Amino acid sequence: MDFHAALNNILNPPVLFFFLGMGVVFFKSDLRITEGVSKFLSLYLLFSIGFKGGHELFKSPFAEEHLLTLIACMFMACFVPIYSYFIFRAKLDHANSAALAGSFGSISAVTFVTAGAFLHSYGYEYQGFIVAGMALMESPAIVLAVIIDRLGKKKSNGNQNEKIKWGHLLHEAFFSSSVYILIGALIVGYLSGESGWNTTKPFTEDIFKGLLTFFLLDKGIDAAKQMKEMKKVGFFLIGSALVIMIINVVISILLTKIIQMPIGDALMFVVLCASASYIAVPAAMKDSIPEANPSIYLTVALSIVFPINIIIGIPLYFYILKVIAGTV
């Protein structure tokens, strides 16, 4: 691995502020970020990603490679929850296994954003259509997790009347705040074209990294708080999370090679596949699979998968893709 790239990633202000946020908990500082501010930062990042993606789609025509990438996104979003469920089922009940499977099948927008900042620092960019791929990957895993949970209940207790509230589930999956603002901003960015981009650029790009840095400070606090739950998670879940991440990275890298994605697009796709949701999926699981323990699926996604990706994963995936492309 390019240790210079890895060191630069760790010394990036957003990543350093993630560690600073963890220090708030470890050193018992009285620093607090309110829920309203945290929600605003999350929506801002999704809005900026979506709007920039829409602008990039406006600038570049849709090609066959883009369609293949979106198909690959949908494939991973459906495949990962199914196989990961059986891994977790070796030790956990069906409810917690399904919730964890949904988390791994979905994505982390903040990991995506951090990878984008990393790419930019090395002079690489990604195309706007990959943002649409991110949106496509968030919802299917939520639906599949609930279906898997209901099938598990029927099998375990023989209750054939176990029903899925399809209206509520589909609404939560496709019209949750994160999906809605991301898709909405993508469409607006595309329709408003160059004039719309020039108007909003000071807000969507110029202050982006500063607000990302502040948001990662908040996520560092959350991650450190969840680490208190690590004893409940146990070595099995830590090991399972690492195995699933490795499998997802290997499959996604193979797909980037088959489709022949440019390095920028390839890194963002691999990062999406390697990440786990700690925002959209937990919100949906709270209502749809209430039997699942949030301290399990939230801790795995936020305190294991997320830090590994932003500290080690992103530069490692970048290096592997460059080796495969023969640019090292």
Query: Can you list the alpha helix ranges (DSSP code H) found in the chain?
Result: 3-10, 13-26, 35-59, 64-88, 94-105, 109-121, 129-157, 166-175, 177-201, 208-226, 230-259, 263-274, 280-288, 294-299, 306-308, 314-325
Name the class of domain 10-23+33-155+163-325.
Answer: mainly alpha
Q: What's the rounded Cα separation, in Å, for the pair 109 and 131?
A: 10
Q: What is the pLDDT of residues 31-88, one digit of tens each?
A: 999 999 998 998 898 899 889 888 888 887 777 788 999 999 999 999 999 999 999 9
Whether the CB-CB separation of 206 and 39 falls below 8 Å is answered with: no
Q: In this structure, is the dihedral angle defined by the CA atoms of residues 309, 220, 105 and 37, taken in order, positive or negative?
A: negative
What DSSP state is assigned to residue 228? G
The domain segmentation of the chain, as residue ranges, is 10-23+33-155+163-325
Query: What single letter denotes the amino acid at residue 42?
Result: S
Whether the CB-CB separation of 22 and 228 falls below 8 Å is answered with: no
What is the token pair recorded at 193? 């074209």
pLDDT in tens, the chain (328 residues): 566 666 777 788 888 999 999 999 999 999 999 999 998 998 898 899 889 888 888 887 777 788 999 999 999 999 999 999 999 999 999 899 999 999 999 999 889 999 998 998 888 989 888 988 888 888 888 889 988 888 877 776 655 555 667 777 677 677 878 778 888 998 999 899 999 999 999 998 889 889 999 989 999 999 898 887 777 678 899 999 999 999 999 999 999 999 999 999 999 999 999 999 988 888 788 878 889 988 889 899 999 999 999 999 999 999 999 999 887 6
What DSSP state is assigned to residue 227? G
Q: What's the rounded Cα separation, in Å, for the pair 116 and 129?
A: 14
Of 110, 121, 107, which is closest to residue 76 (Cα–Cα)? Answer: 107
Q: What's the rounded Cα separation, in Å, for the pair 324 and 328?
A: 9
